[in-house]
A and B are shown apart, each in its own frame.
Chain A
Amino acid sequence: MMGPFLEFYVDPQRCIGCKACEAACSECDTHRGSSMIHVDFIDPGVSPQTAATVCMHCENPTCASVCPADAIKVDEHGIVHSSLKPRCISCNNCELACPFGVPKISIGLQQMQKCDMCFDRTSIGKKPMCATVCPTGALFYGTPAELAARRPQGHAINLWRFGVQEIRTRVRVIVPAGVEVLEIDVAEVIEPGGAALPPAASESAREFL
């Protein structure tokens, strides 16, 4: 690893859903007013568990491989950047293909924007905004040694399997000991079921807002 860049860790177990990361991300000088982070409920209505998703900065990014304009680049620090404005054709391929749901096409800018790990801050030795403000350490930026010292039980991995696609990411996720790969059965996730509303029990039942 060159330069001042350190490791980024996501520890979903610590997330309290406060969205300080989202709030701080939208204060970034490079994309003022919009956040590149999203925080989701894992099982809405069942558990208050939430998790924040930042760009995972894949070693071989799906967004870049599906880009027909060759507009998405990984730099020498392993950071995947927003699309190159002169090349980007706003085709949405990256949005659709990213398994983490990170890239977003900005209609106004005609460009894909995404988390660049606060390049303006991290390149001068600061922490990314989200990992600076995160009140619980669910987003953590530092060295592996710091992590090991602070969280002796923390086990960080960076290997994902979405169906048959295997992805290794620069950002690491803290998981229970013994887990070495996060496997997500895509077919199971997209199958309809679970989330359906119960039959309307009352005439005035209707979605609100």
Chain B
Amino acid sequence: MARLSLPIADYVRAYGPHISDSPVRGWDHKPTVEKLVKTHCCFCGMQCGIQLQVAGNQVVGFEPWEEFPFNEGRLCPKGVKRYMQTHHPDRLTSPLIRTEAGFREASWDEALDLVVRKVREIQAKQGKNAFAMMSGVSLSNEKSYLVGKFARLALNTANLDYNGRFCMVSAGAGNKKAFGIDRTANSWSDLPEAEVILVAGSNVSECFPTLMHYIWQARDRGARLIVVDPRITPIGRTADLHLAVRPGTDSALNQALLAELIVHGWIDETFVRTRCSGWDELVASVATCTPEWAEAITGVPADQIRSAARMWGQAKTSFLLHARGVEQHTKGVDNVLSLINLVLATGRLGRKGCGYGTITGQGNGQGGREHGHKCDQLPGNRDIENPVHRAHVCKVWGITDEELPHKGKTAVEIFEDIHEGAIGGLLNICCNPMVSHPDLNYVRAALERLPFLCVIDFFMSETARYADVVLPGSLQEEEEGTTTTAEARVVRIRAAVSPPGEARTDTWILLELARRLGRADKFTYADNQEIFNELRRASSGGTTDYTGITWERVEREMGVFWPCPSEGHPGTPRLFEDQRSYHPDGLFHLHTTAYRPSAEVPDAEYPIYWTSGRSVFHYLSGTQTRRIKFLVDKAPGPLCEMHPELATRLGLVDRQLVTVETRRGALTVPLAVVESIRPDTVFVPYHWPEALAANQLTVRALDPVSKMPEFKVAACRVRAATADEATRARALFAELRLEAPEDAARTRRQVAP
């Protein structure tokens, strides 16, 4: 059974997170660098080029890679310090099997055979789909593709989903509905050409710092900037217009903006009549959406809405960017579509300086969502329920249609099935649901009912603590492969070093499991390049076509943009240049997006809006960044941002410990009184686990189309922490700064005999 054998503090002492503040061989004696490995940062969808300095199979430092065209050497602090994760004392170096006293080290044979036995037992008892798999898109394209095939053919389960369900599925669903293709429509090089940039729900400055350069290039040429965010983020501070929208009301704002464009005739009539479908219905749907109507819902003053519409409407060129701020809602898809409508209404896409795009958050958030990594998808962004799509993939994989499972459950639904007992086993790779899943107390309860959990990870994540078997896997810099950046550029990831100790590459682990599950014949790859070449064939003819992209080309050209249907094809940095969408009718599909409230809104009992987001110093669930001292020093733990007006009303002061409560949980954190947030809203970043996890508070409510949870809106109340809560919080914060002992391995043996 998946559960903790020991108090959490014991796991922290044995496996971390410990903070490490020096390179593997210390600061004093830097070894002579033997080679510089040109690869990419593992943190975020920008996939900045970076060179890792290697000496003696160890990453000993970094050097900016100024020739790589996207970032020209620029990095954020995570990128600079990322090399410190590689040889971190917390790295898992042996397979582990849970005992009553923690974990014991095991051989690969024993650990893998146990996993295989459990897969067979659970599937024999409850059916094939009772064994599920959760994955993540920090994995390379090769690994993402392999996971999709492994789950379907080796585990024979329909229930494979991934952490993109918590990240960009609303954008993906919106893109497919409007454009018939799921990617950012332009390369970032179109940003500096735009006269106006609208950033909706994206703290670009903290989540994608290196993209700021492109926005500044546009600003230097006189571009206007509109930022929609409940908080004045560092990018919001510099905007011409900052629209401090009430959490969860984006689609109302966008409807009013569209209505203003229509009223003033700032519409590309030819484009909407000849290249779009649904224009008349869309116009009718926003007839009553005046700025005053929207002001009442969104809290954004009507005159600001008018100004924004004028700025957007009168421009000749424009670029729209959005991210999780509009996507992580029960109406995430509607929010995305309401933004796309603003782009389509003005006909500004498919040419220089006219662009649109979601900014994908995870390292391989773009490539990882394209090739069969999610429950309803096959490679090439094909539909797992479409007979023609199935036939193509069956042919590539050499199987019959009966052998290919159908659509499975989405991430949150998988945990609901675990909770209900319908799923009895879970293989989890590259995902830390004990931090990143909404309503964490529910997830914990689900895991405690799960008969078998296997986690593949390079560190002991908060989820891995619950595992029956932990398999030590590899970091991005330990395997050859590719990723696809947020601008749909396929880039080359290089193996700088090999995994430490008994740790193995993720690919080796999956192939070995497949072999022991009796499917060796379907997984005969000499190396990762062969996996990529099969991915190319599997994607061929799909909207996400990689046929013409080879590793050699990617290296030579410093990235190739898909679609790239043949080896002579130059790749496609900018979509829609022919004014055609990827729908069979070639039209861009407009959709009405009637405003509806969020799943939970403030009431008398919980009167404050709660929202969440990221810090520039941490990546996702923090498994990697919470171990690097520089980053921990800058952002040691969560805090609650609150406007001084609200603080005064509640009798709270800056830096006081407060308890934030929703109907699902409570969290004690220091208060940060800041004028840069709406007075009706508080903000807590989400990178921390257990009692410091923001996701204890979030709502387990889903977008009906994308099944994205509503991370961005809940109703909360805030009060001064009690003495007991404060004492506990101080102890938890101290634990976040635990230094690694001199001999980490010995401590582990003591704690986990």
Contacts and interface: CB of A to CB of B under 8 A. Distances in A.
Interface of A: 13-20, 22-24, 26-27, 29, 32-33, 45-50, 127, 129, 132-137, 150-154, 197-198, 200-209
B675 A46 contact: yes
A47 B657 CA distance: 22
A18 B235 contact: no
A208 B729 CA distance: 10
Nearest to B205: A16
Contact of B238 (A13, A33, A208): A13
A24 B80 contact: yes
B22 interface: yes
B412 to A, nearest CB: 32
B229 to A, nearest CB: 11
Interface string B212-237: 11001100110000000000111111
A20 B76 contact: yes
Contacts of A197: 653-654
A107 to B, nearest CB: 16
B73 interface: yes
The prevalent SS among residues of A at the interface is loop
Given A202-B653, A204-B723, A208-B657, A135 B74 contact: yes
A47 B238 CA distance: 11
B584 interface: no
A17 B675 contact: no
Contacts of B27: 32-33
20 contacts: A16-B206, A16-B209, A16-B235, A16-B616, A19-B634, A20-B80, A24-B80, A33-B21, A48-B676, A50-B234, A135-B209, A135-B213, A137-B213, A150-B217, A151-B220, A197-B653, A198-B648, A205-B653, A206-B657, A206-B726
A14 B216 contact: yes
B179 interface: no
B686 interface: no
Contacts of B21: 33
B630 A204 contact: no
What size tier do the contact residues of chain B reach? 35 or more
Nearest to A17: B234
B415 interface: no
B654 A18 contact: no
A19 B79 CA distance: 11
Nearest to B220: A151
Contacts, number: 149
Nearest to B653: A205
A154 to B, nearest CB: 8
Interface stretch (B61-69, B147-155, B328-336, B691-699): B61-69
Given A16-B234, A205-B720, A153 B210 contact: no
B508 interface: no
Nearest to A204: B720
- A-B residue pairs, 6 tightest by C-beta: A33-B27, A16-B205, A23-B80, A201-B651, A16-B234, A135-B209
Nearest to B631: A23
A75 to B, nearest CB: 25
B75 A20 contact: yes
Contacts of B234: 15-17, 48-50
B438 to A, nearest CB: 27
Contact of A134 (B22, B74, B221, B726): B74
B237 A209 contact: no
Nearest to A46: B675
Interface in B104-129: none
A207 B617 CA distance: 23
A32 B653 contact: no
A133 B670 contact: no
A155 B673 CA distance: 34
A105 B655 CA distance: 30
A49 B675 CA distance: 12
Nearest to B71: A135
B675 A47 contact: yes
Contact of A198 (B71, B630, B636, B653): B653
Contacts of B221: 152
Contacts of B99: none
Contact of B61 (A22, A23, A27): A27
Given A22-B77, A45-B675, A47-B676, A136 B213 contact: yes
Contacts of B28: 32
A181 to B, nearest CB: 24
Nearest to B204: A16
A200 B652 CA distance: 8
Nearest to B726: A204
A117 B234 CA distance: 26
Given A22-B630, A206-B657, 11 more contacts: A23-B81, A23-B630, A29-B30, A45-B673, A129-B64, A132-B73, A136-B205, A198-B648, A202-B720, A204-B657, A207-B655
Nearest to B657: A208
Contacts of A153: 220
Contacts of A48: 232-234, 236-237, 674, 676
Contacts of A17: 205, 234, 616
A136 B209 contact: yes
Contacts of B653: 197-198, 200-202, 205
Contacts of B672: 45
B721 interface: yes
B656 interface: yes
A150 B655 CA distance: 41
Contacts of A32: 27-28, 30
B722 interface: yes
Nearest to B222: A153
B733 interface: yes
Nearest to A19: B77
B656 A208 contact: yes
Contacts of B238: 13-14
B200 to A, nearest CB: 18
A207 to B, nearest CB: 5
B673 A202 contact: no
B721 A204 contact: yes
Interface string B670-695: 10111110000000000000000000
Contacts of B80: 20, 23-24, 27, 133
A39 to B, nearest CB: 9
A48 B236 CA distance: 9
A58 to B, nearest CB: 28
A19 B631 CA distance: 10
A133 B73 contact: yes
